[in-house]
Structures are given as C-alpha cells and as structure tokens.
Structure 1
Amino acid sequence: MKMGIHENTNLKYYGLGKLMNLVRRKSEEIKTLKLRRLNDAEKLAGKSAVIDQLKQWVMAVGSGKVERVDRLVRINLARGNSLRGLLNLYERAAQKLYRPRNYTEEDYLRGLLLWRLGGARLAGIGHRALGLPSDSSLRRRKVLPPLIVSPAMPTLEEVQTNVVNMFSPISSVLDQSEEVVHQVLMFDELKVEERPRYDEKSNKILGMCREHGAQHTSLEFASEKEVELLLECIKKNEVHLAVDATVGALGVLSSDTRVYGARGILVSGDCKQESGSEHMELIKTGFEASQKTNLRTISIASDGESRRGSALVHFTFRKKLGPASPIYDQLSCLPMMNLEVGDDDVTADKDYKHVFKRLRNLLLRDKGLWVLGRHIKPAVLRAHMHSNAVTMQRASHLLNPNDRQDVKLAYDLLHETWSLPEAPTVGSFPGFRANRFSLRILGSLFRHIVMPYICIDLSLTEQLTHLGAAAYILMAIWSDEKAGTKLMPTQLYVDIMIMIKNVYFCIAKAKVDNPRGKFWIISLGTDRLETLFGILRTMVGNDANLDILQLGQRLTGTTEVATILAQYPHWDRAPRRLVLPTLSKDGFTVHKGVDHIGPSSWRGDVLVANVVLQTCWRLGRREAESEFPVIEPILDAISQPGRDIFSPLGKDLVKAPRTEDDIDDTYDDIPAAIASPVSPAVSPELEDTLIEEEPVEISKHQPFFELNGVQVSKPKYLSQAFSLYKKAGSTDRLKRVARGGRYLSNESEESESQITRARDVMTTDSSSSSNYLQMDMPIASLLKCGDQMFVCIGEVNDIIVNGSSVDEVSLDFLRENPSALVVSYQMHFLIPATATDDPDLKHDWKGSVKRRGQTYKVSGHLIRPINPGVSTPINNNQDPYYLVEIPTIKKSTDFPYREVNGKACFLCESLDAERQLSKLNQCSICTPTVLFGSKVSAHRVLEHNSAHRLNDVHLNRNDKLCGLCLRPAPACIFYLKKGKGTKSNNQIDMKKSSCANLLNFNYSIAEESTMTSPSSNVPILCPLCPQVYSTPAHWRMNLRQHIQTRHQGQSLVPYEHLWKITAAEKDQLETIWNDRHKEKRSRKPRKGDSSDLVISETHSSRLVLRNLNDNQEESDVEISGDEADDGVAGAAQQSQRRRRRCIVNDSDDDGCNDGEECENANDSDEIDDDDRRENEGSDKACSDDEFEKLDDWAMEHAGKSY
C-alpha cells in the first residue's frame, strides 16, 4: 500500500484519480508514437530524394561528359556542399561553364610528360581532353634552365654553370644523406643535323666543330663579315660543321627516383677528327666541373668508341694505386687485378649493354673467332643451334648481320650460345664435338658477363663472383696458344676487362665512403644517358635529327622526363630494342611483371657490408676452373709477377699500339669522313615554331644586325648563307645518320632472295648424311707451298652458296655447280702414326687433337669429302679455272705433312711435270691458255680481264663480272677500308672481301690508267648507296649495271664519269687483247718457300700415276685385287711395310736400324733416278686424265690419314 497500486493491477482496484492519470499517460504515449511515425515518414522521403540524386550522379558519371570527376568530388568536399551541389558542379562542368582547377601532383607530372615529349600542342590537347594542367601552368612548374651549348671547346666555367643549374633542384634531397654520395660521369655522342644556328643568349654561331671552330675564325655574330669568313674557312676545309654532338651527363648512384635520372652538363659539336689526347681535355673539364656537386665522381663511363677509349686510358691509367689509398687493402690482394687509376682513384667504365651488343657482333663476323684452337664462324654456330632444336628461321633471325644495335637480339643469341648442351658422343663428327666444347666455354663467358645485370635475385657477392669467373675465362681463352686477336679485337678484350675492373673498384669505394649503404652495378655505364637520347628522339620523331641548338634547349626537358618515369616506371614502356629480360636465379624463368631493371626492382642482397672482394675474386676463378678444368693449366702458366688482366701474356694491351689488322669491327660506328651534309624537311625557324619546348627568355643580345641600312634577322641570314651546303638526304632517320640517299632500294629483299636460293640446294631430308657435304665434316683440299701443291686435310666450318651460308649441300650440287659454292675449312695438322698410336698398323697418320691450322676459303672445285658414300671425280668437261685460287701457305714445321725422317708428303704433280706451278697460273677463259707466270701480278690480271670485258665477244656485257676472276655476281664481294694516315687513299679490305682469286694490289695505282698499269677497273662505292665502308663496293665496269638494276629511275648522266674510260685506255687494253697469245720472254723461276723441301716419293702422286699407266699398258683386262696391291701398292701400303721393317732412329736419315738393311732404300734411289730423267726431258702440266687420277689418289690418302 505504501508503494501504491501496481501498474499491472486490475482496473477495478484503481481509484478515480489513478485512472485519470493512467488515461492521460496513455494518451501522451499514443501522441508520441503518431509524431514519431510522421517524422519517420518525413525522413524516408528525404532519403528517397537522396537516393534519387545518387542515381542521377551515377547516370551523370556514366555519361562521360566530364573528365576527371574525382577533382569535382574533392572540390565539393572542400566546400562542404551536398550531393545536389555536386550535381550542379557536374552539370556546369558538362556544359563547359565551369573548369575545375584542383590538380594533384600526378596531374602536373602527366602534363609535364605530354608537354616535354609532344610540345605545347599536345599539352593543350591534354588540357582540353583529359583535364590536365594547361601549358602555362606547366611552364610555371619548370625549374631547370636550358643548357649552355659550347660553341667551341667547352670551358670549365660553362660546364660548372650547367652543373649548378641541373643539381640545384635536388640539392635538398642530396643534403639529407649523411654519407658520401657517389656519381658517375657519362659521355656519348648523338647525331645532329649539320647546320649552323644562332644562339641569342651568347650571340655565338653554334654548329661548328670544337676541334677547329674557334681556331681559325670568330664565332661571335656581329655582322655579315663573320658569316663570310666562316664560309671561307669551311670552303678551305679549315672549319667543319659538327656531325655529332658530344654529350656529358652525371648520374647519381642512388635508389631515390627523384635523383636517379641522368643530368646533362655538357654539349659540344664534333667533326670526328679529334685525337685521343685532345679529347682527354674535354673529359678533364667535365670531371673537374663535376666536383661542384659536392658528390664524389668514382668512374667515367663511355661506350666502345675508340677515340674516347684512348682518352680515358690517358686520364684513368695515370698511376698505380698506392698503399696510402683507403681502397688499397681491399684490391691489392686480388691476383692479376690491374691497379692503375687516375686522380682521386677514378677509373674508366664501359657500358654493359654496348658490351652485350659487341659480343653478338663478334659472333657475326665473317672471319669468325678462335676458341681453344677451334675456328668458330657464324655457320658453325648456326649448325649447333639447329642441332639444339632451334629452327632455321630463328637461327637466321638471331644471326642477322643487318641489325647490330638490338640489345634484346644480342641477349637472345648469347643465351642460345650458353644454353648449348654437351655434344653427343655417338653419331657426330669429332670436329663437331670439339666445336661444341669451344662454344660451351664461350657461352659460359657470355653467361658470366650477362647474368649479373639481368638476374634480379643475385646478391652483390654472386654478381662479383660471376664477373670474376668471366675475367678468368676470358684471360684463359685469350692466352691459349696465344690466340689473342684471333679470339676478339684487342679493344673489345680491354673494354670487357675495364668494365669488370670498374665494378670491383666502385664497390671498394662504396665500402669506404658508405659502409652501411647499398650498391647496384646496373647503375653503372651509360644506360641512363641512352635513356635521355631515347626521350630526345621521341620528342623530335624517329625520322628527324636535332641540330645542336635544339639539343641544348631540350636536354633539360629530357632530364625532367627521365626523373618522372623513374618515379612512375609503370607509365612507360621502354623500346623493345633496349630492354633486357629479367631473369630469376636459375637463369631461365622470366619475370613478366618486371619491365624495367632498376634499383627498386632488384631483390638480391646488395649491402656492401656483406661483400668481401677477395673472396668473390677467388670464387670466380674456382667456379671457372671447376666448370672447365682445361683452363686451369693455362691460368697457372700466365699467373706470373708483373702480369694482370690487361697483360695476360706480358704485353700491356691497354697502352700498346694496335697492329694494322687489329681492327675492332664489333663496334658499329658509322664513319663520318665520307659523308655529305643533309637538309631538314623544314627550315630551322619553322621547326622551332612547330615544336616549341622552352619559353622565350629575354636576351641582352640583339637578334638583328644592319645590312645596307636594313635590319636583318641573324638566324634567317645565317640559314640562307649556308643553303648551298644542304643536300637532300633520306627521310629515314637511321639512313640519314648513315648518310644514305633518299631513294634506296630494299637490300633486305635481295638478301632474302639470296638466302632462299641458298636454301634450295639444301636437303629437306638429311638422314643419309653420306651424300652431303656438311658442317664439321673432314675434307681434303690442296694448298700451295712455294711453287708446289700438297694435299691438305681440313674440317668444314662454313658452306656458302650464292652468297649465303648453309649447313649442308649435296655432293651432286658440289659436282655440278662447283663455281657457285665456296667452302671455308680449318686445316688439320697431321703427324706420322706410330705402333703405339695404331697397334693394328692400319693408318699411316694421326691428326693433332689440340692444334689446328689456319682457315682457308676456296671454291668448290678444290673440296672433296673424305670417304663419302658416293664419291666420283670432278667432271672432265668442266670449264678450266684459275689454279691461283689455291690458297698459299708458308712452309712450317706443320705443313707440308712430313714423315718422321722429315720428307714432305702428299705432293700433287703430274707424271712428267716439273715440280713448280709457274706455268699453271693461267687465265680461266682464254683458249689457247694465257699464262700469268709463277708470281702472279694483280695488275696484270686486272688489265687482262679488263681486256676481256671490252673485247671478248663471248662475254655477256650485262653480267656484273668480277675483275679478278671473271665470275658473275654475287660469287665475289669486295669491301673498301681507309688506309693508314689522314691523307691516305682507300684500300681493298682483304679481311672482309671474298673472291676465289683474291689478290692484293695498290689501289691508288690501279684506279688510274697509266702506261704501266692501263686498266682502271677497281672496286668503288656506289654514289647512291650508303657512303660507308660496310657497304659492298662494285667494280667500275659494273657500276652502270648496278645503278640500272638497284636504283631504277635514277638518271645515269650525273654518274657516267665514274665508269667511262678514256680512248687511250681502250687502245692499250685492245693491244693487250691482241697480243695476249704472243710468246713473252720467260724469266728464271725464283725459288719458293718449298725449294728446299725433300719430297717423299712414296707419298707422291707421281708414283701412283706411273704405276697406273704401266698397268694399263701391260694389260687391258681387269686385274685381281692381289695383283693390284702388288702393282699399285700406293703410298699408304709402302709406308706400312716400311714401318714394319724399320725402327725409327734419329741418327739415321733413312729411318732404319743400323743393323738392318732397309729394303726401300734401293727402290727410293731408283725412283729418284727415274724422276730426274723424266724432269729433264719434259715440263708439261697435268692433263685432264692425270688430274683425275691425281684427284682419286688424293682422296684415297686423305681418307686413310684422318
């Protein structure tokens, strides 16, 4: 009762007052619920309106009327407006009544990319179509001023100003580092248009070469007099227009993308006539100016250009690393390491991508390379790749010599080389197995050089171990049998070793200056500078070149672009030709998601604190020797005091002068000395207007001068004054760089057709290999030693049909078309076999496994496979051919092949001919035969063949015949090269040229008709083909037909003077033609190299021919096998009987024991007497029948001696 009535009590117990209170409370609750319902209905109506607005927003965004809607959302949030306000903003933006200005940092960077790469017009398109900042906003964001372009030799003040301007924006980032920051100084050349430009900032004329520009005239532009004097100097060849621009740049060694890109600091014109010592002054200026950054320059990087290589040697090989140097203790303990450095211990460096390309070019050389005594040519590599399941189409693509700048293609070929497995021991030639072993050790060298730069899982220790192994393998194969330049050009060897040495030195400096830091070897080299060049080409288009003023103005823009792309690499896709694949540690799995190899993508441990240089160097040697034990004794032999990686054989390869034939043909540098200027498609003024990169700055110099009372624009006057020096060139950039003409035929189509014709002679079913001449097959041929011919045993390393290499050719084709076939083989060294070598006494000779001779290229006439399944002699009805096609070799201890008593074996001679070839050097066409004499003069051959071309009615005048052998194209090919000295004339490149009758002659004498040398028919460069020495030359008498077939539509009138000959020359050649059969006074034959040789009569073709003739005269019936063995014993059987009966004794000239009478002595005396009597009475050459017998005899003995 005290608490009152409970709320749930029956109402009959309630009082009146209590009931009134209860009714009042229930009424209020009902009212509250009704009001709440009303409020909920109102809220739902509001939410429904918002949902409708969201639907409208979704539909509006889906319509795509406004770009970059995210900026509208950010602006609306900043204003605190509702969704209705956002819709209003969108509607106004869609109607172009409102343009949002809220740009993010990425918006500005995207706009800068478009502006820098495509100019103001593309930036405007991005502003209007993509909503990016306008070009005016982007110009306000620009912080790097244009580079100062040096009109002459760059001065220290100019380069220092560029350094300060380029590094001032990133100085705050660099100052954050507490350790010493390293940088690399890079140099490279870029092709520029040969035209002068006026620079308003300096009031100088740009575009002249630094070598001679300021030495002979002033480059300051004040009046027309300066232009006139400059033109005079150019006409006198005292000053030259710059053909290239040398660009210097600095690259910071850091993983911070804000500072990773290369920054140009130097631009200077070049005419390619600067010496190495003069170029060193340019490098010295750049090195001293780089100290303004307060960063340490630890290396100077370059590509394989020889002039800069010489300058870097002078600058970075000045002194030995002394004990006082902080890096001495780390490097002095490395065996064979070279310790020469420059100032501040700076070292030279070579770009690794250029090294990769040059290694591929090394494999493409026609002359091949020698590895462990094996001659590896492109055809050998193609055959081995084909045996490793590489299709012929892919092999031809990888070995395409026309593309020498593709980095990806270089990697593919090097990868295929190191992927070759061991050769099968069954079913392959011994030469094939030996070549495979040489290719595998060569491939191992390639793998150790390439993997440290592309395998992102390798640690820094593993990278250094790979490079150490590469250094030891390269030293071993360079030193083996003093291979040297037969392996590769000295410059390539030195550049590889410079690259490896620089990596070790740079890491040693990093361990001293920043012991807790990281080091990425992929940051070395000139790759970042090449990236700038790629961006420049994107700016101006692939079919145009910059002039030197535009280069300086736009190089700053490329730095900004490179920095942005380094910060956002997923925005860019680098050119395919410049991208290397990214491999995992096994070397085979390619990471598809990683397109750019950089510090940010490297996954291996690159802390320098975890690296011990001595351990890595020694592990490299141990890995090399465990993989190929054959190099261990070679390395032990060269590991002597005073030798290092640059002097494995004792000779300093860096500073020693190069020999005449030691030419680095792996570096694809286009010569500029024989080039002609080309003109741009539009004027420089219009070109600058079309692609405006930089805002116009106010200059203190006036761009006008007064001429005859009229104000004349300096740029326009300069352009008009040099208009006479402009010639139309190719519209293709690469061809313009190569100085190619505008109208060139497609050479690739012709080369493809040649390959197709070559493939036609190959078999599609090579199951029966005995009917084919194949790669690595043993063959027999002939070599000329002095005035005598000897049988030579060799091994095929290239088969060329119609100018293209094939892997095999049928013997039927060899017999039917020998003149269309050229075979290259490597000579084998043979020594007499002993009873220990051959207990069964079945073979007379054995071949040396380790030693091989030189490589010779001969016509198919002189090649016979040893013991083929189908063997028939050369057809007697063949046309005669030059016997001077037979290669000549000097007498040595290895050739001619000799018996143990020193007598020369396998002499090829007729039954009654003198032992000399003086009367066999003859014309291949003349009937009766015209002899050239024992010592063939190339000038006599040229004039005789020229007389054929003009007077022989049997020759087709439309055939492009070779001037030395009269074979039609493309059987022979000739290349020219520059002679020694600055004023030297062209010469025949004997290394690259190919002809069955290749004879060396004085080019300067032969190209002019004189009384003593009337013929002027020499190989010359076609004026319509690229004017470079890598272009084949054409004989003067063939040039007309070449232009008519290859340059159809071209007028012949401007070029008639090139092939037209004078009347006096015609008269002299006609006299030679009429007197060709007159007897000439014979001279006493000179003694050749083989004059002192003692010939083994038991191994001479004379004995075989005599026995065959005697047997044919005695009986016409077929003799039995036993009688044949008695009548025609042959050299092999007689030699075997002699070995059974005689014991070799060095003190006995006859090779017999003192107590035993040699049965062959009397026989040998009788043979000598017979030969003497026959030689006194006759000097005839071999007849056709005798040559056939001689050929069969040579094949028989070749088969038994293999």
Structure 2
Amino acid sequence: MPTIGTIKISDIIWNIKEVVLKPQENVGLTKKHGARLLIDEIALEETPVYFKHSNTVGGLCWKHTAVHSLVLNNFSSAENIAKKIADGLIHISKEMTVITVSLFGEKHTLPILAAPTCKQETAEDMQDTLQMAIMAWESEGAEKVGPLWSVATDGNATRRRAGYKILSRLNLCTGKNEVTLDFDFRHIFKWICTLLRLQSGIVLNNGRVVNPNLLSRYLPLVPGYDTNHVTRLLVNPDNSEDVPRAVELKRGIIMLGKMPITDNSPEIIANRDAIRLLGELLEAFLAPFTTPSFSLSDCVRGLSKFASIRRFTDGSEELGLAKQQLLNSGDPFYPFDVGDNALEELFGRIRMIGGHNAAMNYKQGAVDIDAVLKRNPDMDPGSSRTKIDRIEGVDHLNKESWTGDVTSGSCDIGLAWKEGSTAAANAFRTSQVPSSMYDHPTIFRTPGVDLLRPFGGDKYPGIENDGDRSVHVLPSSEEDSPPIINTNFNFNNGDLDEIISSIESTSLEDQVEEADELALPSGPGIDPNDYLSYNGRWIHKATVVRLILCKNVSPKSKDRLRRVAGFSSGLANRKGKLDLNTGEICGADVFVVGDPVVTLLRSDKTLSLTLLRTTDIKEDGTPCSSIPCSTIENLQAKVALSGQILTIAVVPRLDSDGSAEDPSQDNSVELEQWAWMWDGCGKCSWHERLDGNHG
C-alpha cells in the first residue's frame, strides 16, 4: 500500500502482512532467516496522481501533508489542493523513499514502505521513519520470519546521521536487539575512488597525498593502463558512479603497489611506498567481495586488515556472520549479502514500467513489478552484468558464481580477525609509519576505542554539516542550472471549461448521442465514484488531477547524474535555454509527447499499419515537449519522432469474475467477459523529416 499523507506505522504493518507474511504462509515456508531493512530513494516525475482505492491524490510529500486533506470529494477539493501547492504548504514529491526487507540467503527484496518525499526531511524525521519500520518488523515479522539483524543504506548523510542515532555498531555497542547499521560496499568503493580523483586526494600517515596527479604519473607503469586510459577513464571518468570503473582504478593501484621499485630517487621511493600501502588497504577491502574462491575466513581476514589499517570501518559483515552462526551454523553466509544492492536492482525493475522510464510517477513506482517477475521468472530477462569473469560483474555479484566455502560455521571469526590485524601490522612495518600507530594490542587495550568514531567524541565521519568531498557534485553553470518550474496554480472558472471544451472537440464521444446533463457515467468497468461533477459535466478524477495539478509539470532528465541533481529532461535548444513553454497541452492544434501516431511500418517485405505512443519529439535536432500540428504539416520542417509500438491484447473485463478462459486458447468462451487493451512492446524512431498531414 503506497503512503498517502504522513507515514504511519499501521501502513508499514499492513504491508508486512500482505507483502511478506501472506506469501510465506501460502507456500508453507517456516524456516527462519536473518532479516535486514534496506532504505534508499528513487527519482519520480513531479506529477500528482489519483489513487482509486483511497479516493485521494498521491505523489505529494509525506512530511507536509499530515494536517491537509488529500481526499477528492468534489471539484472544490482539487482546487484546495492546488492552492496549497501554489502557496507552498504542501509539495509535489521529487523522489520516493522506499524501505524493503531482505532475508539473508534469499535473492529478492520485499517493499514495506513507499513514501513520496520533497527532500526536506531532517535526520530526526528519518530517525522516526527508521524506528517505525524497525518496530513494525519486530512486532509482525521477527517471530514468523526471522529477527532483524541490520539496516542498510547507501550512506546518504541524512540517513547516516539518523542511523547512528539509533543503531550504533562496532566496537562498543549495537542498537536495540543487536541491530546494526550497514553501508553497501559498492558505495564505499565509489567513495574511496571519488576521494582519489579529487586534487586534495587521500593523505597517508607517511605524509604523502595520493591524488590524480600522482596516479596519472605512476599508473601508466602498469600493463594495460596507458596514459589516455588512466586520464580519461580512471582519473576523470564520465560517470564517477560507475562501480566497474571504480574497481578498475583500485586494481590498477593494487598492481602498481606490488611492482618492484627500480628507481633510487627518494621522491619516487616515497611516492611508491605510499601507493604500496594504499594498495594493501584497497586489496584488503576489495578482495572479500570480488574473489569467488574466497572462504568466509579469507573474507574476515581481509576485512579485519582493512579496518586495522584504516582504523575506521563502515561494514558489519562480521556481526552478520556471528548472528548467522547462532541462528543456523549450517547455512551459508555471503559477504555481499549486506548492503542495499537488492534495492538497487528493484529500482532497475521499477524503471522498466513505461518503457524503461528513468523517472516514473508515484503511482507507477508503487507497482510491485518485482512480485510479477517472481511469479513469472521466465519473464525476467536477467542482467548481462552478472558474470564474475568480467570486471563489470562485481557490480552484480551472485551466489551461483561463488565457489569458496561460505558455510557460516566453517569460520572462526575471532581467529580470522586476529590474523587480519597481524597482516595489517606487517604492512605497516615495511612503511614509514611509526610503530606506535599500529600497535593494536596497546591501542585496543584502552577503554572506549571506537572504530566508528576514530576522532573521538560524538564525531561520526560522513555526517557533518560541511559538504562531503567524497560525494560527486555536477559542475554548475548558467546553462546547466535546473529549470525553474512555474507552480502558480491560480485559474479562473472558465479555464477548465475551455480545457474540457478542447478535449470534447476532438473526442470520440462526439460521435454518440449525448447523455443527460447530470446522468452518472455507467457501463462495464465504470465506477461512478471515480467522477466529479463540474458545471453539469462528469469528469474522471484522474483527469481532474492531471489537468489541474499537473498543468506545469516538466519531465525529468533521463540521464542519471543530471536527474538526481534535479535537472529536467534536457529540453534545451542550441542556445542552452530550456523549452518550458509547453502551451496548452490539451489544445486542438498541438502535438505533445504521449500522443498516439498511426503510421506505416515495413519489416523486410511486410508492410503494416502501426499504432505508436510518442515518447520523444525533436525539431531540428532539439528536444521539445510539444509541437504545433502546423509544423508537422510543413513539408520543410525537420521533425523527428520516437515512440513505443503498441500491441493489442485480450484481458478480462473489470467486472468479470476472472474465471473465464482465454478466448485465444478456446473459441467457445463468451467474448463478453473479455476486452481489448493496448500495451507497449517496443520502440520505433523516425530520424528523418516527417512529411504528411494529420488526421
């Protein structure tokens, strides 16, 4: 159930029962697993939507709607909501906060919260949300499915601060019921590499700064890492969020650190010594997650060495392993099971809705497409990046590729941790670091040493108010600034009459006899409760929401890095200005994105009449959201359209009992229980001038 209004623990409990417990009971699953909550956010089109089940407007931020009614009882309700949006009392959501539950040893993740957000939550707000989710699971899921072991996130500063408030970890204490906070190792990969790509770099204890200048100088010594490759792909990548590139940079540093030093220059020796120590640190953290032949003991040794060199740790894989040993030591434990990658994969599937839409609306985002693929695994095309023998494979590791012994009971955690600490001390002995810095028995003999707070006090890395330099920020310029969206929703009573008149002037309803003025809509699949009366007309509530609340909406960019920074879909002309003047989207003489197109399509020697839904319009190579029909009629205009090919499918009617046999399989069934529906199955583009007339 998607969140409408403020977040309530009752909604989370309802989702746990419906999404997690009922499917488990239906298939008779009784084995208990450790559970972890995953939390992250996904971009949404800033578009309000109508939810029939609650008769409300969705897609408005949960933080500011607690005291405002979102119910559509009449047309005045829509006007009131529009006014509150215009006055800034409530906001159209920018993203959707999603919390899911994953079971250790299982592949899929199950959503238990989907809440629209305006990105104005504080750490206290996020703390309340996390506590509600934890309490809901402890109340409903822990006894029947398994105890909650951890809460995982990508390391967002707000969520990180909230997590540290309620989920302390190594090495002093944990949260209530031993629940800990996890950060996905892939994001830690990216954070480290982002720091390496900054001019300020990473400062090691021997005083050397490892930054792009140093890497560009020495990495070309590694076979396969020529100067252009290092500069363009590793030090200054197009996408700093690319995990495979981050891994490739780490591996280059590791190989460079192991190469012999043949130069006698003190400067070069000191630089290479710093790179060698950094390579040991990176290998200790990289190998446990990317080496399928590693046993659990190998993984713990590597993570211990990483934590002992760094004197700070983001992960709690060892605690998860210890909990698995207590629950069932015969079950496997995979080191990459921690983190929120399962939620990232779910987001990828959600984006499949609407033809791989990079930013769906809130209603589309609330659809549990993952459940559809679990019920029909043959429909899941899988990922081309799951093979471990490719470097890119580390972005999506899988249990099938792991060959090492991951039986939880096979690992002596204490012994492996001690061996890793010893390996860290050996790495320091060959460097210029003073011995007092790696005398771990003496260091940890002091009470109060906390691997989460290496600077002491209440200072947790990554949650300070100053900007985090490990987070990539797009360069800003006048041309690249996010567009200013007009949110003035004031309108006269005559405006809606004009819009409705425009719709009716081109509607198929003109071909049938007009109904009585106030007669309620009726017919198969029609619910009169879905309509509002306005000046003697019945208008569907979804139409009211679209025309009144979505009048000034601009689609977001399909490029990920620009989308997360708040940019729209790149409707820029060649002068760098954005085309935000969409005109009257319901005007009779305007063709807009989403309008249908009928055209002839040839495949080999077959000519077909094809119906498409427009997904992109370009005039003279410039993307635009709408275009006058007169421009399409102009034989000299250079208009390019892209769209989805629509296919027609047979589906049960809404008012049928669902028991009818598919007429395509049985010609004797009654066709009255079935209806036709159009659906998108592909994509087609015109890259040359579009000539002809519109009908």
Same fold (TM over 0.5): yes
Residue 560 of structure 1 corresponds to 372
Superposition map of 1:993-1008 within 5 A: none
Matched, 1:392 2:209: no
Superposition map of 1:208-287 within 5 A: 208-215=60-67, 217-254=68-105, 260-287=107-134
> TM-score if structure 2 supplies the norm length?
0.69
* Counterparts in 2 of 1:652 and 1:595: CA distance versus 1, 3 Å: closer
Q: Is the Cα–Cα contact under 8 Å of residues 262 and 559 in structure 1 kept in the other structure?
A: no
Residue 522 of structure 1 corresponds to 336
Residue 288 of structure 1 corresponds to 135
Unaligned runs of 5+ in 1: 1-147, 321-336, 476-492, 584-589, 687-696, 748-1021, 1026-1046, 1051-1202
Distance 2:447 2:541 in 1: 65
SS in structure 1 at match of 2:438: helix
* Counterparts in 2 of 1:513 and 1:746: CA distance versus 1, 3 Å: farther
Which structure would you say has the larger RCO, counting Cα contacts within 8 Å and 6 or more residues apart? 2
Matched, 1:626 2:426: yes
Distance 2:436 2:86 in 1: 61
Superposition map of 1:237-636 within 5 A: 237-254=88-105, 260-291=107-138, 292-293=140-141, 294=144, 295-317=146-168, 337-372=170-205, 373-389=207-223, 390-396=225-231, 397-421=233-257, 426-427=262-263, 429-475=265-311, 497-499=313-315, 502-553=316-367, 556-561=368-373, 572-574=381-383, 576=385, 582=388, 597-629=397-429, 630=431, 632-636=435-439
Farther-moved stretch of structure 1 (407-416 vs 532-541) = 532-541
Q: Is the Cα–Cα contact under 8 Å of residues 153 and 282 in structure 1 kept in the other structure?
A: no
Amino acid at match of 1:665: R
Q: Is the Cα–Cα contact under 8 Å of residues 261 and 563 in structure 1 kept in the other structure?
A: no
Matched, 1:642 2:448: yes
Q: Is the Cα–Cα contact under 8 Å of residues 153 and 340 in structure 2 kept in the other structure?
A: yes
Q: Is the Cα–Cα contact under 8 Å of residues 516 and 609 in structure 1 kept in the other structure?
A: yes
SS in structure 2 at match of 1:394: helix
* Counterparts in 2 of 1:362 and 1:701: CA distance versus 1, 3 Å: farther
Distance 2:357 2:374 in 1: 22
Shift of 1:262: 0.9
Shift of 1:729: 5.7
Distance 2:532 2:15 in 1: 29
Q: Is the Cα–Cα contact under 8 Å of residues 123 and 159 in structure 2 kept in the other structure?
A: yes
Distance 1:442 1:721 in 2: 57
Superposition map of 1:853-872 within 5 A: none
1:171 to 21, 25, 32: 25
Shift of 1:172: 5.3
Amino acid at match of 1:267: A
Distance 1:252 1:678 in 2: 44
What's the CA shift string for 1:777-796, capped at 9, x where partnerless?
Answer: xxxxxxxxxxxxxxxxxxxx
Amino acid at match of 1:316: L
Distance 2:126 2:345 in 1: 24
Distance 1:600 1:425 in 2: 40
Shift of 1:646: 2.1
SS in structure 1 at match of 2:292: coil
Shift of 1:559: 3.2
Shift of 1:526: 0.8
Residue 470 of structure 2 corresponds to 666
What's the CA shift string for 1:312-332, capped at 9, x where partnerless?
Answer: 112213xx9xxxxxxxxxxxx
Distance 1:537 1:1048 in 2: 26
Residue 918 of structure 1 corresponds to none
What's the CA shift string for 1:1122-1177, capped at 9, x where partnerless?
Answer: xxxxxxxxxxxxxxxxxxxxxxxxxxxxxxxxxxxxxxxxxxxxxxxxxxxxxxxx
Unaligned runs of 5+ in 2: 488-498, 504-523, 580-619, 624-695
Q: Is the Cα–Cα contact under 8 Å of residues 423 and 436 in structure 1 kept in the other structure?
A: no
Shift of 1:347: 0.5
SS in structure 2 at match of 1:340: coil
* Counterparts in 2 of 1:656 and 1:463: CA distance versus 1, 3 Å: closer
Shift of 1:223: 1.5
* Counterparts in 2 of 1:427 and 1:591: CA distance versus 1, 3 Å: closer
* Counterparts in 2 of 1:235 and 1:678: CA distance versus 1, 3 Å: closer
1:712 to 518, 536, 539: 539
Q: Is the Cα–Cα contact under 8 Å of residues 543 and 733 in structure 1 kept in the other structure?
A: no
Q: Is the Cα–Cα contact under 8 Å of residues 195 and 207 in structure 1 kept in the other structure?
A: yes
Distance 2:360 2:230 in 1: 37
Distance 1:467 1:185 in 2: 22
Distance 1:624 1:312 in 2: 29
Amino acid at match of 1:349: D
SS in structure 1 at match of 2:149: strand
Distance 1:609 1:403 in 2: 40
Which of the two has greater strand per residue? 2
Amino acid at match of 1:547: N
Amino acid at match of 1:642: G
SS in structure 1 at match of 2:150: strand
Amino acid at match of 1:742: G
SS in structure 1 at match of 2:538: strand
Q: Is the Cα–Cα contact under 8 Å of residues 201 and 699 in structure 1 kept in the other structure?
A: no
Q: Is the Cα–Cα contact under 8 Å of residues 244 and 392 in structure 2 kept in the other structure?
A: no
* Counterparts in 2 of 1:153 and 1:707: CA distance versus 1, 3 Å: same
When the two chains are superposed, the root-mean-square deviation of aligned CA atoms in Å is 3.6
Distance 2:574 2:256 in 1: 35
Superposition map of 1:913-992 within 5 A: none
What's the CA shift string for 1:479-530, capped at 9, x where partnerless?
Answer: xxxxxxxxxxxxxx6xxx231xx21211121122213322112222111111
Distance 2:338 2:558 in 1: 35
Distance 2:560 2:355 in 1: 9
Distance 1:700 1:162 in 2: 26
Distance 1:616 1:181 in 2: 24
Q: Is the Cα–Cα contact under 8 Å of residues 422 and 436 in structure 1 kept in the other structure?
A: no
Shift of 1:718: 1.3
What's the CA shift string for 1:1015-1057, capped at 9, x where partnerless?
Answer: xxxxxxx8769xxxxxxxxxxxxxxxxxxxxx9999xxxxxxx
What's the CA shift string for 1:317-361, capped at 9, x where partnerless?
Answer: 3xx9xxxxxxxxxxxxxxxx4132222111111111111122221
Distance 1:226 1:310 in 2: 38
SS in structure 2 at match of 1:404: coil
Superposition map of 1:89-238 within 5 A: 148-167=1-20, 168-171=22-25, 175-177=29-31, 180-215=32-67, 217-238=68-89
Shift of 1:734: 5.4
Distance 1:625 1:699 in 2: 73
Shift of 1:650: 3.3
* Counterparts in 2 of 1:656 and 1:241: CA distance versus 1, 3 Å: closer
* Counterparts in 2 of 1:724 and 1:643: CA distance versus 1, 3 Å: same
Distance 2:47 2:349 in 1: 22
Which of the two has greater helix per residue? 1
